[in-house]
Structure 1
């Protein structure tokens, strides 16, 4: 809000007559003797105004349009401290010369406890225009008519700052097309029929740094570029907060920018630091908070711990223990009050500094903390369990998750697409809910740790739709907390997630260590569903390291667990993994019957992913047995299936396996095309280092066989780097290929 301008009762204007005694002119009639006064009430422009270039252009364009035939209105809305008044004042000063009959200004005090009465404001505006006090009508309606009459045929600019709502603004609008109005409000003034509305958001990083440079000095800011960037982010790029820290730095030349960043690091004290002279970020939130009803204030406080970085309506309603319609009404009221943000329909979040304010508000016992967090966790786990069932139907892991979820999803997800959409929408909220449990565990209750682990496991099945690395990082925190608290079930699941992610990235040392920890914890907890998965991962790791006997033992353990739990698809996957270990261990004839049996069963189950995997393993077994045409047919069927149901990772693997078979069949052109496709695809896929290494190795061999020595040597070198970095035995094959290629090039 601007300071130093005229208040709603305009300084120096004649006061309105007492409606009970004073007599004004006839309704809406302009006083015959009134001498028009040209007002010039705009407060001084802000010298260090920065940013908002697009908004400034849009609003000044509306107010400067010579072709308009109706009153021009430029409305600016947004949360407190976002810079509404500063922008409105800059706009008004830019266009004031187009309004030769003057400028009026009124502070409507909309965010205060005593908003300006429109009738009182009109009396002040009329007085500023030269209407004598005795001729100001007693009623607000007549004053509004007289105001429009006085301004008829004139070109005048009116700035209305801090409007409460459209009802406060409408009586103050001139009727003349030659006039213009600039109005600011925390609420979006949807009832305005003409003009342009701008909803201000936080500064961009560049705008925030621009304001910092304006006030502190470019040299000082540029000397500490990283600290300056961190400082404006600590201010959540709220213009008022940036202005405050800039003022503090300007007043303290001995402070470094980094020093102030450190002072803002504690979120519990951040608002205390964001104060300078009569400027305070907390004050803008306090003004809005005072206007809330009891239920609105309760929701504002209670949602604060769980709304970062955003929360959907259903999740918010569950956390607040409210029906969705009631929750939506309260949340939307907070959005209208500019105390919550709604980045998309049905999604809500606190501004970072508004969240700090809410967390520091006193509240009744039990309103904060575990009840809200636990209800949210129960809701998220129930929904995630339902999503998991759509992604991996029949997996015993689902049964264990549902057993832990106090609030099942109850059929709210219609299909796999709906499950994916929900996971993507609530992923950040779910991860934050887990972090709240991990970082603030309840000493008397470890159940939230179990629920947090189950939630991560359920989300992990959507690895192609979400940033999986963030699950792994959160799982590492969870593993430490659960181990410290003696919760083996949560620890086992967390270690499994860490190990599985490391395996996907071909970080075999880390994968083995985490998977072994998972096995031990799951055994102690009796968690057979995850124990099966961990043993399977250990088998795959052993196979990658060419320890085929150990791989077979791990797969046997996993298979027993799968069969005990009635997990047919899991048993078939483990059977295929065991078959592949036998193929790679030189026992292809022994592996082929098991592979054929698994393939038939997976076809009956219409398990497309399983069928694609089985076809690829069958192709490798047939290739090792010298049945190359049959191997090629298996790979081609796998490729067609992967294209039909979109399984890109398996398709790339089938491509490079197919290339090897085509090369052995003396079909070099087709082999080159297949291996090149695999290499190109796997370069774009994060993780899958072993597959990328194999694709490069096979492509190198195909190139060398086709006489493309330089290309072959380059890809062989890349394959060697991949295998050496992962510690894989295939590095030896890459070295042999390189040596052979070099020898051929040298004519040896």
Structure 2
């Protein structure tokens, strides 16, 4: 069979490629010359021997054949149809697990050697002295944009992983953003990645969370990369005080204000390393054959790793073109396209060359990606931006990935370097105009917020699963999928929410906040609920909707306490909500305002007003026929009555709660999660009344029911209290072996409960061993 023939095993792609070539009356050699793809590669594709040609190669062929957009899309569709089905990706255990580094890492020998020695010295010393004697080192990598700081940090983390068995994690600190990630937000993300329950994080202050972070970090042997740090304040609280947490920080700034860190400054690559990077991507045969062209390419790229990789990926897809041709094009692009600077480096040449060779649809996608607000993104977001199907969007993203204009992130997500984002934005402004950009941004904003509404409402009692929609771009078939989307896309939908608020889209702002009220109880540690409910309350006021304004000010009161422990702010918002609800006559929001005020008074042990507010809340909830609110207020009445020294009233309130839960008329009105939470805390609260009345068996029965449920909810401190109190009650009953087991259960929670609780358990065990147990008779 000659070079122009087909083959029996040709794929749909190969057959179409051959037909397009023959339609131009070209030989394979002529197509190779026009496209830059080798004769052998084209022959293998046409015969079906190459099942996975890169999309960048397909683009080069389409450009060589001078195909229009429709024909190019048809060729990509044929490629997709002929490929083996991909296995579904398994989502990572945490969204902050370390992404996979580049496989063709080269250069940075001196820097990497120094970092390796630093890590090895710590590993050796910690094995000799024992863990926790001194903190692991902190490495700060600084340098200009595109110099490979993140790549080096990830490389070090990957190499060090065997010595740090508790995992490797990366947090993008977004130091260049208008609202960079705070140290507290980084603490929340890392603690969540380390398995600390959201409920526990939500009830702790920022100072307590930081203390929890330091305690947890001291017990781990893990690697954390804090990428794209903008200031010392973002990272200083996270510096480990002991243990085995290796911290690697990357920043464009030197962060000179940090003390006791090991600094590595990255400049451009050496000539040798620049050539090595080209060789790793393009291939040794081609680079060794044209050393002068290699030198020219590396000079034109300013020896900047990002620019070199983009140019090298462009050349790798055009195997039949010389590197001198690449050098000539880089020089030409520099003369006729505007500069994009990185310090004093001109790197637009490499970007412009790759961009200029993109098919029109791919180039448009690249420009539109500059509108994405988050650090990373998914195929559905790109599809919405480009107003195209998900498969088509994924094809375009893969072309950009092949061209080096995108990088793969965790799971099936993508990232765009901030320099490339700037370049894409410049091209968008020059080529698309304001009208198209505004339309694309509005399209993405609407989709993100509409999806947030659907996902958030999974947790509402009257909603749950959204109605079937064949064209929906993301799966929201269960709560886990909804939660995953809300958390993974939180940076993007929050940015869209801010845009909507600033654009005066008040109805949409209120709708999103309404839809996330129940979900917020399941992600109390997020850190942005204050902003969400403040903006939604302002939007409701702008709409002239006092009921919703009262509702969101009630939510804001809770967010101020849970998010920042701002008692004064929380009380102020609850009173504001009460005044609005009274003025418009809304009974339900009056009840919730009294409920919040009762809780806020109880927090500072101001018990008489707390009891009054809860009683008023119950009366109003009853008038509004709002059983779930009534249960919430009744539960807190149990605790307040017991703390005020009225145990019989507490038990009576508990009995009322249980009767309401059992009543047939309320069975379908109380959601399962509300029922479960109500039982958990009602039994926990009433246990104090039993304990303080010396009703030891009743206390054991209540605590046995509550302890496992508290653990399941992530309320570990209260679960520890349940174990400890149950042990004390069992000692009073003379069941010492069971009591010992409960005391030891407290000790197994060493990383989850206060040290004072551990001390109490140890002292009780010592007293049991000595035969002199003396359990308390007063419980608070």
* TM-score computed with the length of structure 1 as normaliser: 0.51
**Alpha-carbon shift at residue 580 of structure 1 (Å):** 1.2
**Cα shift readout 1:11-58 (whole Å, capped 9, x = no counterpart):** xxxxxxxxxxxxxxxx99xxxxxxxxxxxxxxxxxxxxxxxxxxxxxx
Q: In the alignment, which residue of structure 2 is the partner of 1:303?
A: 369
2:434 maps to 1:365: yes
**Cα shift readout 1:521-552 (whole Å, capped 9, x = no counterpart):** 57548798777656434423322322111212
Secondary structure of residue in 1 paired with 2:648: helix
**Cα shift readout 1:705-741 (whole Å, capped 9, x = no counterpart):** 648899999xx9xxxxxxxxxxxxxxx999xxxxxxx
2:526 maps to 1:460: no
Q: In the alignment, which residue of structure 2 is the partner of 1:237?
A: 149
2:570 maps to 1:514: yes
**Alpha-carbon shift at residue 287 of structure 1 (Å):** 2.1
Q: In the alignment, which residue of structure 2 is the partner of 1:684?
A: 751
Separation in 2 of the partners of 1:520 and 1:411? 39
Q: In the alignment, which residue of structure 2 is the partner of 1:335?
A: 401
**Alpha-carbon shift at residue 376 of structure 1 (Å):** 3.8
Matches within 5 A, 1:143-162: none
Q: In 2 relative to 1, CA 498–612 (structure 1 residues): closer, same or farther, beyond 3 Å?
A: same
2:527 maps to 1:472: yes
Contact 1:386 / 1:409 at 8 angstroms: preserved in 2?
A: no
Give the alignment partner of residue 626 of structure 1, picking from 694, 713, 722.
694
Secondary structure of residue in 1 paired with 2:414: strand
Secondary structure of residue in 2 paired with 1:229: strand
Contact 1:476 / 1:495 at 8 angstroms: preserved in 2?
A: no
Can you give the 5+ residue segments of structure 1 that lack an aligned partner in the other structure? 1-26, 29-116, 126-139, 146-161, 170-187, 193-198, 215-224, 251-269, 686-690, 717-731, 735-748
Can you give the 5+ residue segments of structure 2 that lack an aligned partner in the other structure? 4-27, 44-53, 62-78, 84-99, 116-136, 153-250, 253-263, 272-337
2:380 maps to 1:314: yes
Give the alignment partner of residue 274 of structure 1, picking from 334, 339, 342.
342
**Alpha-carbon shift at residue 410 of structure 1 (Å):** 11
Q: In 2 relative to 1, CA 430–532 (structure 1 residues): closer, same or farther, beyond 3 Å?
A: farther
Q: In 2 relative to 1, CA 554–667 (structure 1 residues): closer, same or farther, beyond 3 Å?
A: same
2:111 maps to 1:210: yes
Contact 1:616 / 1:654 at 8 angstroms: preserved in 2?
A: yes
Contact 2:631 / 2:657 at 8 angstroms: preserved in 1?
A: yes
**Alpha-carbon shift at residue 495 of structure 1 (Å):** 7.0
Separation in 1 of the partners of 2:757 and 2:353? 63
Q: In 2 relative to 1, CA 596–248 (structure 1 residues): closer, same or farther, beyond 3 Å?
A: same
Contact 2:141 / 2:266 at 8 angstroms: preserved in 1?
A: no
**Alpha-carbon shift at residue 654 of structure 1 (Å):** 2.6
Give the alignment partner of residue 611 of structure 1, picking from 679, 684, 687.
679
Q: In 2 relative to 1, CA 364–707 (structure 1 residues): closer, same or farther, beyond 3 Å?
A: same
Separation in 1 of the partners of 2:400 and 2:763? 65
Q: In 2 relative to 1, CA 426–357 (structure 1 residues): closer, same or farther, beyond 3 Å?
A: same
**Cα shift readout 1:416-458 (whole Å, capped 9, x = no counterpart):** 23333333432343344445567xx23x555565466557646
Q: In the alignment, which residue of structure 1 is the partner of 2:357?
A: 291
Q: In the alignment, which residue of structure 1 is the partner of 2:75?
A: none
Separation in 2 of the partners of 1:631 and 1:410? 51
Q: In the alignment, which residue of structure 2 is the partner of 1:549?
A: 608
Q: In 2 relative to 1, CA 680–163 (structure 1 residues): closer, same or farther, beyond 3 Å?
A: closer
Q: In 2 relative to 1, CA 572–668 (structure 1 residues): closer, same or farther, beyond 3 Å?
A: same
Secondary structure of residue in 1 paired with 2:143: helix
**Cα shift readout 1:537-596 (whole Å, capped 9, x = no counterpart):** 442332232211121233235445655665433321221111211111111212212212
Contact 1:118 / 1:168 at 8 angstroms: preserved in 2?
A: no
Separation in 2 of the partners of 1:493 and 1:578? 22
Separation in 2 of the partners of 1:324 and 1:486? 38
Matches within 5 A, 1:320-469: 320-343=386-409, 346-361=412-427, 362=429, 363-369=432-438, 371-391=439-459, 393-394=461-462, 412-434=475-497, 441-442=502-503, 444-447=504-507, 449-450=509-510, 453-454=513-514, 457=517, 459-463=519-523, 469=525
Matches within 5 A, 1:242-281: 246=267, 272-274=340-342, 276=344, 280-281=346-347
Q: In the alignment, which residue of structure 2 is the partner of 1:77?
A: none
Contact 1:307 / 1:429 at 8 angstroms: preserved in 2?
A: yes
RMSD: 5.9
Secondary structure of residue in 1 paired with 2:688: helix
The answer to which structure, 1 or 2, has the higher relative contact order (CA under 8 A, 6+ apart) is: 2
2:663 maps to 1:601: no
Separation in 2 of the partners of 1:384 and 1:344? 21
Further displaced range: 307-316 or 472-481: 472-481
**Cα shift readout 1:231-288 (whole Å, capped 9, x = no counterpart):** 35685638899999836999xxxxxxxxxxxxxxxxxxx9843164xx6333322222
**Alpha-carbon shift at residue 372 of structure 1 (Å):** 4.3
Contact 1:668 / 1:702 at 8 angstroms: preserved in 2?
A: no
Q: In the alignment, which residue of structure 1 is the partner of 2:121?
A: none
Contact 2:376 / 2:413 at 8 angstroms: preserved in 1?
A: yes
Q: In 2 relative to 1, CA 474–584 (structure 1 residues): closer, same or farther, beyond 3 Å?
A: closer
Separation in 2 of the partners of 1:537 and 1:704? 42
Q: In 2 relative to 1, CA 409–695 (structure 1 residues): closer, same or farther, beyond 3 Å?
A: farther
**Alpha-carbon shift at residue 307 of structure 1 (Å):** 5.0
Q: In the alignment, which residue of structure 2 is the partner of 1:656?
A: 724
Q: In 2 relative to 1, CA 417–566 (structure 1 residues): closer, same or farther, beyond 3 Å?
A: farther
Q: In 2 relative to 1, CA 640–346 (structure 1 residues): closer, same or farther, beyond 3 Å?
A: closer
**Cα shift readout 1:287-331 (whole Å, capped 9, x = no counterpart):** 222233444333323332325222233344345544434444444
Separation in 2 of the partners of 1:228 and 1:426? 29
Q: In the alignment, which residue of structure 2 is the partner of 1:78?
A: none
Separation in 1 of the partners of 2:578 and 2:446? 23
**Cα shift readout 1:581-632 (whole Å, capped 9, x = no counterpart):** 1111111212212212312433655522322222222322322333221121
**Cα shift readout 1:339-369 (whole Å, capped 9, x = no counterpart):** 3334356533322222122223313223335
Contact 2:557 / 2:570 at 8 angstroms: preserved in 1?
A: yes
